[in-house]
Structure 1
Amino acid sequence: MNIYPKRWQALGYLTAGAFLSPLDYFIVNMALPSIKKAFNASDHQLQMVVAIYGLTYAALVVCGGRLGELYGRKKIFTVGLYLFLLSSLACALSPDINFLIAARLFQGIGASFLAPQVLASVRVLFKSSEQPKAVSIFSSVFGLASVAGQLLGGFLLNLHWTAFSWELVFLVNVPVTLLCIVGIHFTMDNNREEQRQNIDFTGALLLVTSLMMIICPIIFGRKYDWAWWIFAILFAGILLLVVFYRYEVQSLEKKQACTDRSWSFAAASLCFMPYHHLLL
């Protein structure tokens, strides 16, 4: 195995980039009252500001990992950083709430490109004895983000001497993404799988559809007085999620991946990161 001399520096930039994904759940939640006041937004629109990001991330995170295998993890990670950077600027410059929701969708796409590349790169950059430590560092990101997001959000929203208010929770992403773009360029090679496989479009479609059928009724149920068809869509979404699970476990590659507990825990943190926040 080739050991990369700058592997720990690369892990730092990879982790910093992946840190942005969960951070934006918590920091944006702190800014919702200010966003509501700025745009006179409804509660449903505010829910969409949060939910569209989580839905997009959860639906595309598997595809993000597969794209890294196909085209190179450094390349897809960098694309994710640029997309996250541009969408963060778009969020901060949003002229209305609908534009903000659309920008958050693209921010979720960028986030789905970031985190999967970290776990995949750890397997390549580090020797076996170093991998548990590297995975632990990555896994700690999600816990730290929950604390940092609330503290940093509260701090930024109280900077009354600036010309910005809620916009700062998005602008704070700019220097971090720029630092990661430069750092990754000098510390990491564009490694990818030699035996590349196609993107699982069937699995992605099942996941996207099931998540939309579960999350949208939760968001809009109150608006429609929890009509019977709201529960019907929710139940159908749960059934479709079971179908997705049954479809995915038939893959021998995924079954083998689940035998390693440390990697399974990190992967579970990666995939289920959006859900607890969507239920708040």
Structure 2
Amino acid sequence: MTIALPLAVPVPVAGAARSRWALPLLLSAVFMTTLDFFIVNVALPSARRDLGLGPSLTQLTAASYGLAYAAFLVVAGRLGDRYGRRRVFGIGLALFTAASAACGLAPTGAALVAARTAQGVAAALLAPQVLALLGTLYPGAERTRAFGWYGTAVGLAGVSGQALGGLLIATGPGWRTCFLVNVPVGVAALLGLRRAVPESFGTARPLDLPGAALLAAGLALAVLPFTAPEWWPLALLAAPALAAFAARQRRAADPLLELALLRDGGFAAGLAAVALLFATSAGLSFALSLALQDRHGLSPLTAGLIFTALNAGFVLAAPLARRLPERRAPALGALVLAAGLALLPAAGDPFHLPPGLLLAGAGMGLTMAPLISTALARVAPGSSGQASGLLGTVQELGGVLGVAATGTALSAPGHGLAVPLALALALLVLVLRVNGRTAVRV
């Protein structure tokens, strides 16, 4: 499950005119972009058969969205501050709507990957604008409620994504419906945007487009080799590109990502744990969706309904995490997650998977919020925006690497679920090691 993190908390503008439709309109975009992170997994097996996707394009279809999101998120918030949040939101929404149509009409696997990449760029443009606009339009207690509805929209999209995708495939013209359903929603939101949402600006900060390009290139060069053996030489170029990006950030007066924060061992360990958690979640969803439909021959709807156990466990356990000591919740959650994943290979019959999935989802719910909050607690208030930016980038990158590594393991029958289990065990070891050696809350 992916969480968009605010890069800053905007100051509400007194007297900002807004329509009662502002909140539903903004949240509809959040719902769509979050839904597409999940819905693609249940659509992938059908798309793979229809378009003749090989292993490489199958992985890229799943991973390209998160990769583009992670690469462009670092500049998206600054674009809104400089050029207007409503304007950039509208551009992102228009691009997302057009890219969704392109996904639904894609004639080839390469066209589908290109359209998914455009969707990821658009989602990165949208996310920080929504959070900034909510913070600007709703003061005091209203803002708290608005952010609460934001969290609800993200949660509902995550919980319903797999099942809704299966339902759309079952009742519409196949997997393409999962993407085409965004088009009327996006068009309606665009038509009402100007009247419902007032414009707002923030402090104009340097964009550093060359730095963003170096980051995007470095991430792509690091991930693409996982999707095709012939691309492994590209990995040799990833380190120089990322090193050049890091050097540029160290010299910048106002860096896109404040890498100096990584000198804090507790925060760095928190980032690593978040990356492992999101890699586990994304890898599991990718591997299980392909196994349920391709190996076991289940319909997309049935596969989607089985997935609801994972998300139900998350929703049920997340509130319990707040009642546990923050140092203990991640360790307990990682243990429960690993236990749930260990049960899956023994299930045999796919209809025996829900107990293990429920347990795995509960582990994610117990782990996610405490990991994020304790990592951010290590950072001074003045650097909270930069820390949130790092976390947002790391969570998306973790998901991309989880899909890529799991896809590589799928070439060996029966090993697909081994990668998520290994990642969960690595998460458990990391959390226990940090808790055992220091008093840092991660």
Q: After TM superposition, is the score higher than 0.5?
A: yes
**Alignment length (residue pairs):** 271
What is the TM-score normalised by the length of structure 1?
0.81
Q: Is the 8 A contact 1:56 1:108 kept in 2?
A: yes
Deviations 1:158-196 (A, max 9, x none): 22xx4x111101111112212321332221112123x42
Aligned partner letter, 2:200 = N
Query: Which of 12, 22, 45 does residue 10 from structure 1 map onto?
Result: 22
Give 5+ residue unaligned stretches, structure 2: 1-12, 262-378, 404-442
In the alignment, the residues of structure 1 paired with residue 190 and residue 382 of structure 2 have an alpha-carbon distance, to the nearest angstrom, of 31
Aligned partner letter, 2:175 = W
**What residue in structure 1 maps to residue 214 of structure 2?**
206
Does the residue aligned with 1:158 lie in a helix, a strand or coil?
helix
Query: Which of 131, 134, 158 does residue 122 from structure 1 map onto?
Result: 134
**What residue in structure 2 maps to residue 184 of structure 1?**
193
**What residue in structure 2 maps to residue 277 of structure 1?**
399
Change (3 A) 1:20 1:245: farther
The answer to whether structure 1 residue 72 and structure 2 residue 81 are counterparts is no
**What residue in structure 1 maps to residue 225 of structure 2?**
217
**What residue in structure 1 maps to residue 37 of structure 2?**
25
Paired-residue identity, %: 32
Aligned partner letter, 1:217 = P
Give 5+ residue unaligned stretches, structure 1: none
Aligned partner letter, 2:70 = A
Pick which of 150-159 and 6-15 moved more: 6-15
**What residue in structure 2 maps to residue 108 of structure 1?**
120
In the alignment, the residues of structure 2 paired with residue 131 and residue 46 of structure 1 have an alpha-carbon distance, to the nearest angstrom, of 40
Pick which of 166-175 and 95-104 moved more: 95-104
RMSD: 3.3
How far does residue 260 in structure 1 lie from its aligned partner after superposition?
A: 7.2
In the alignment, the residues of structure 1 paired with residue 210 and residue 148 of structure 2 have an alpha-carbon distance, to the nearest angstrom, of 32
The answer to whether structure 1 residue 96 and structure 2 residue 108 are counterparts is yes
Does the residue aligned with 1:94 lie in a helix, a strand or coil?
coil
Does the residue aligned with 1:197 lie in a helix, a strand or coil?
coil
Q: Is the 8 A contact 1:203 1:248 kept in 2?
A: no
Point out the structure with max Rg over C-alpha: 2
Alignment of 1:127-206 (within 5 A): 127-159=139-171, 162=172, 164-193=173-202, 195-206=203-214
Deviations 1:66-95 (A, max 9, x none): 221222111111111111111111111111
Deviations 1:130-184 (A, max 9, x none): 333333332444333222211111111222xx4x111101111112212321332
In the alignment, the residues of structure 1 paired with residue 381 and residue 81 of structure 2 have an alpha-carbon distance, to the nearest angstrom, of 21
Pick which of 113-122 and 125-134 moved more: 125-134
Larger relative contact order (CA 8 Å, sep ≥ 6)? 1
What is the TM-score normalised by the length of structure 2?
0.54
How far does residue 110 in structure 1 lie from its aligned partner after superposition?
A: 1.7
Does the residue aligned with 2:175 lie in a helix, a strand or coil?
coil
